[in-house]
Chains A and B, each alone.
Chain A
């Protein structure tokens, strides 16, 4: 029994240390993981640690709001700053999951892109979902979503993000709807039917992905010939020497934002981090690491021309691109995601 007692004692000691360690003055910053997180670590976390204002504990999720809701409702908030997509930000703000931001602690609103400024969040970067393909495996380059749907001309599997958001828009564009009209059409019952019908056509060839790191791997391994991707992930794969290309036509861009969950005990530190990460020079470093566009107007100005050409915000990339309609997804998100899920499982 002697052995057991000392064992128990040491286990308790280790546990106490670990629990105490996680309760120290670090702030937990949750992002979407993968290459995006790596870039954030270089551009935001490490410099923030160095600035002596606090230490960042990085974490990752896939955008599910359930955990945040649970934490806020239990008044036991352990995430201090969270990267959130636009519809979730609006919904979370209405539901009281996020702090209403005090912009005097961050910077004047006029310094940022109008799309990046909202009640509960401040834009981190502009990202885009576009078509990517493996140039080593495809002889001719696809140029549109219609090509993406054309399994005769481009035989093979396609990757799409498992979810209604953007997938329905892509389907409509493939069906000949002009980008400017996509949300008008999707706003009608007939439009939704049309999108699902178009998806039916491609269903046997679709390989669904959930995490942003998957499509570059699927493309590189040849499991799919083309895929919808977060544009930044492709740049990361290109750096590793893979011949992946992005088609900007028909891409959908949106802003990811920092939000502070309501009731975090480290609100002041969280504000400090958000302010720090919203500085143009830090955003510029971020854009250099992964081609997502800065939201700070000055961050855009000072950017290297070579990097700027790869950003979703570059004029030539915006041609034929579509801005995500946050309002639409706030309103219809739950319904369409549920229907999409039922459709996909069938």
Chain B
């Protein structure tokens, strides 16, 4: 905070700093907002000044078989891959937190590795192995590929949540006669659910935004929304792209709000107040 007795240099510094940060935040934020009005452009060009207000591009993407297919594909691939990543990742995270064994660090590193390895390499590698198995150009192949990319996020967030989890609660449940499965569903799950969901959200966002692996693995029939956007940006950049982008921005805002709500809830439950 600027103190009333601050020297002129400090004052200049104080405002310069704020000015700079403001500019950086505008740099982060404005480009995203720029797209939104253009999606309501009545012209065919993706540029300012706009011709007039129109929802024709929304109508176009809603009526276009290609975009419809892309949306449907995204709505198939992302939830299913997220579900898979959530189930496998949560189980593994519980296992990892509760045991210690030689090579645990290495195993964890391997489980996290899809986050580190450049996606292009992952894409080419899966392509070469999946192709002879008939998994390229199939939903199955795409879903498991996206799931493996989302797994690290679930593992890390759930692990982090579990580290703050009091396992005496499970012991208490057991001593009261609950078997391990019902103890898990009645005690553990509700408490770590925010962690699982936020991990799942990360996995969902990863899949929902995934282009590179999809470029390699998907045929036109499985083209997802970002894959279609990639083609659109490369080939035929029209306000339809802006319309799709706007829909995606709304969606990411929703995800952000959900995540923030989860975080708040989590803090409240644990009585952490900052």
List chain A positions with a Cβ less than 8 A from chain B: 1, 8, 11, 14-15, 18-19, 22, 28, 30, 33-34, 57-61, 67, 70-71, 73-76, 78-79, 210-211, 213-214, 217, 221, 240
Contacts and interface: CB of A to CB of B under 8 A. Distances in A.
Given A14-B72, A71-B137, 10 more contacts: A30-B220, A34-B236, A58-B220, A59-B219, A70-B136, A73-B132, A79-B219, A211-B235, A211-B236, A214-B234
Interface of B: 44-45, 72-73, 75-76, 79-80, 83, 127, 131-134, 136-139, 185, 219-221, 231, 234-237
Nearest to A26: B221
B236 to A, nearest CB: 5
B231 A8 contact: no
A214 B221 contact: no
B136 A71 contact: yes
Nearest to A69: B131
A33 B235 contact: yes
A67 B137 contact: yes
Nearest to A66: B127
Contacts of A30: 220
B219 A14 contact: no
A1 B75 CA distance: 21
Contact of A15 (B76, B131, B134, B237): B76
20 contacts: A11-B76, A11-B80, A14-B72, A15-B76, A18-B72, A28-B221, A34-B235, A58-B220, A61-B220, A70-B131, A71-B131, A73-B131, A74-B134, A76-B134, A78-B221, A210-B234, A211-B236, A213-B236, A214-B234, A240-B44
Q: Is the interface of B mostly helix, strand, loop or mixed?
A: helix
A186 B239 CA distance: 43
A214 B136 contact: no
B137 A18 contact: no
Given A34-B235, A217-B237, A8 B83 contact: yes
Given A14-B76, A70-B131, A71-B136, A59 B221 contact: yes
Most chain A CB neighbours (cut-off 10 Å) among B44, B45, B127, B219: B219
Contacts of A59: 219-221
Contacts of A11: 76, 79-80, 83
A14 B75 CA distance: 9
A58 B44 CA distance: 24
Contacts of B237: 217
B134 A60 contact: no
A60 B80 contact: no
A240 to B, nearest CB: 8
A256 to B, nearest CB: 17
A190 B76 CA distance: 55
A60 B220 contact: yes
